[in-house]
Amino acid sequence: MDSETRIAVVGIFVEDRPNTAQKVNEILSLHADVIIGRLGVPHIKENAGVIALIVNGTTDEIGSLTGKLGSIKGVKVKSAVTT
């Protein structure tokens, strides 16, 4: 890991999975180069889901990913980034 990249954990809460899952997956695919781990857990009964990501990228790359995800209606994003 060089000094410009950071490791982060990104938590994504997806509501209304049938209408948001495709948009979320498109954004994750666009940022696949910084994603080093992904765990997705659907909550079928509630039409919701939770995705946990481990990412390694610059603060700009991580911010771009989380910003795009957070702009989707019904998606909430929280991240913890190393210093």
Domain CATH number, residue 75: 3.30.70.1150
* Look-up of token digits 């702009």: 71
Is the residue at 20 inside a domain? Answer: yes
The pLDDT tens digits of the residues spanning 17-74 come to 999 999 999 999 999 999 999 999 999 899 999 999 999 999 999 999 999 999 999 9
Strands across the sheet with 75-81, in order? 35-43, 48-57, 6-14, 75-81
Cβ(30)–Cβ(61) under 8 Å? Answer: no
Is 1 part of a structural domain of the chain?
no
In a domain, 18, yes or no: yes
Cβ atoms 50, 69 nearer than 8 A:
no
pTM summary value:
0.91
pLDDT for the residue numbered 83: 79
Give the pLDDT of residue 3: 64
Report the alpha-carbon distance of residue 55 to residue 34 in Å, rounded: 5
pLDDT of residue 15: 94
Specify if 69 maps to a domain.
Answer: yes
Q: Which residue has the tokens 């603060």?
A: 59
Indicate the number of domains in the chain.
1
The residue range of the domain holding 27 is 6-81
Asked, for residue 41, whether it belongs to a domain, the answer is yes
Please tell me which residue, 83 or 51, carries the higher pLDDT value.
51
